[in-house]
Amino acid sequence: MITRTIAATARSAVLVVAAAAMLSACKDNNNSDLSSFPGGVQRTAVVQTADGPVQGKLSQNIREFLGIRYAAAPVGNLRWRPPQAPASWSDVKDTTQYRARCSAGETIDLFGTTSTSEDCLFLNVFTPSDMQANAALPVMVWIHGGGLKDGSANDYNPVKLVRQGNAIVVTINYRTNVFGFLALPGLDNEGHDFANYGIMDQQFAMKWVQNNIARFGGDPNNVTIFGESAGGLSVLTNLISPTAKGLFNRAIVESGSYTSLSTPESLSAAEDRGQQFAKAVNCQTSTPSATVACLRALSVDEIQSMGSQFVQQNPPLTLDGTVLTETQGQAFKSGDFNQVPVIIGTNKDEYRNFIGLEEYASGQAIDASTYQTRIQQSYGSNASQVLAAYPLSNYSRADVALAAPATDSVFVCPGLRKAALLKQKVPTYYYEFADRTAPVYQHPAPIPYGAYHSGEIQYLFLGFRGARGRETSLNPAQSRLSTDMVAYWTQFAKNGDPNGASVPQWPLLSSDRYMSLNLPAPQAMSLSALRQAHHCDLWDSIQQ
């Protein structure tokens, strides 16, 4: 979506450098341009980025450039400011190791782990090892999940996407929790963009891709952003963000349509929340600028200890008027969004993951006596309708029964509503990941996880287990499904259409068909049957 004039200028500026780098880099199969680090790690050719030269390593027959700084460290006076360009360098930077994860508190979930580093705005570039010079390969930019409160690019290995799909994958860190999402009068009146700092980081990383990816053999005019959970929400957010215009050409949303964070807070509500945070960390004063100065003087440890509730919660997005000017529903209805082809979908048993986390924490399974109470608490005046649609007798277990309405109301039906709006404006493909035998890297719990939230990631990023989960592997049938999913995702990245000769046909959603990603093979199925299975007529009537 970058304008042709800008695109042509960008490409002409970098392809000369890229050609020289890639001509030598393409010799890697013969090891003619490789030297070894201690321990036998093989270096790639040096790539000259706009900020300075970097050198990565050859691993799993792909090139890895890990921990490239794309923005200055957001510390000191740069805390709670938009990302800034890093200082340039002339020495060759060693990019063979991941760099720090962004600040996050202690949590029971497995997506993230505790970090006290604010110097975390790094990205990773993965390329095939046998590219031709000036390859101009499709580029896929991955935005990690974690509820906008934790997570890291370091946990995702895209080797299959790169090798099978012949694509370049970029994974990015961005500020999360209160460090990435804070509105406060003293901050918001400093004369810079505010509140949605984590989204600004994502867009700054996308600008880095525009300016640099041709040097690695990628096409800046063919960029797909994709992400799961909060990463999928981030993709939707960038779809409607005016400041993301021109930075990507396609979008893939995995389990990102959940209701709890889809609607941004008003600025006044967000600033009220920010003032509660300032009070919690003993920085609230009668002078907004003094409050900000106090906050910027705190250490990460002090913020994480005194403001733990704000560090550990899923932070809201804010209607700040610049990065976000309207809601998803408003933008998709009016067509006032970055119109690119979209893949969007959810998993069949999304909420079983969260029930499993609850059971793991309590040490007890949800029982039948708890089921009705929880439905009453969760759905209030609509509880009788929910109980009628989801009778306990229809399920093998009470925890499975409790997860079903949450899956449908929080994930599946909101995703279908967004897809229905998108298909009116852009080519849209819908999927449901439905492999209920998916390997479980999550905490052991009584509930059968089924096709759980995040369960599909390991089919795209082999071996994914969050930051701290159990090691798993795909069986032969699951590996075949993985191969098909990688084909869909990377073919879509090439030309905006997931279809190819090696995979079953995936129809546009405008045909009222969707793709069931399941064993033994993906299959196009009836959208009306999917809506019925997830009781979307009920949830549409309740949530409108």
Q: Is residue 330 part of a domain?
A: no
Q: Is residue 237 part of a domain?
A: yes
Residue 93 shares a structural domain with residue 236: yes
Residue 275 shares a structural domain with residue 191: yes
For the cut 80, the answer to whether the pLDDT of residue 50 exceeds it is: yes
Q: Which band of pLDDT confidence, cut at 50, 70 and 90, is reported for residue 41?
A: confident
Query: What angle do helix axes 398-406 and 368-379 make, rounded to 10 degrees?
Result: 20
Cis peptide before 520 (omega within 30 of 0): yes
pLDDT, tens only, 347-392: 999 999 999 999 999 999 999 999 999 999 999 999 999 999 999 9
Residue 247 shares a structural domain with residue 379: no
Of the candidates 257, 265, 443, 453, the residue annotated as catalytic is 453
Q: Which band of pLDDT confidence, cut at 50, 70 and 90, is reported for residue 544?
A: low
Of the candidates 64, 271, 350, 358, the residue annotated as catalytic is 350
- Average pLDDT of 302-331? 96
Residue 191 shares a structural domain with residue 96: yes
Residue 416 shares a structural domain with residue 306: no
195 is in which domain, residue-wise? 4-312
Distance of CA 305 to the CA centre of its chain: 27
C-alpha span between 522 and 456 (Å, rounded): 13
Active site (annotated) includes residue 453: yes
Of the candidates 229, 257, 262, 409, the residue annotated as catalytic is 229
> What residues form DSSP beta bridges with 432?
346, 516
- What percent of the chain stands above pLDDT 70? 92
In 3D space, the residue among 366, 414, 354, 449 whose CA is nearest the CA of residue 535 turns out to be: 414
For the cut 70, the answer to whether the pLDDT of residue 9 exceeds it is: no
Dihedral class, residue 109 (left if φ above 0, else alpha if ψ from -120 to 50, else beta): beta
Q: What is the pLDDT of residue 16?
A: 35
- If one compares 10 and 292, the residue with the highest pLDDT of the two is 292
191: buried, middle or exposed (CB in 10 Å: 19+, 13-18, 0-12)?
Answer: exposed
Among the residue ranges 100-109, 115-124, 135-144, 288-297, the one predicted with the least confidence is: 100-109
- Average pLDDT of 17-22? 40
CATH number of the CATH domain containing 131: 3.40.50.1820
Active site (annotated) includes residue 106: no
pTM comes to: 0.93
Among the residue ranges 19-28, 72-81, 157-166, 281-290, the one predicted with the least confidence is: 19-28
Q: What is the DSSP letter of 420?
A: H
Q: How many domains does the chain have?
A: 2
For the cut 60, the answer to whether the pLDDT of residue 37 exceeds it is: no
Residue 257 shares a structural domain with residue 139: yes
Residue 248 shares a structural domain with residue 124: yes
Active site (annotated) includes residue 471: no
Residue 271 shares a structural domain with residue 367: no
Q: Is residue 31 part of a domain?
A: yes
Q: Which band of pLDDT confidence, cut at 50, 70 and 90, is reported for residue 38?
A: low
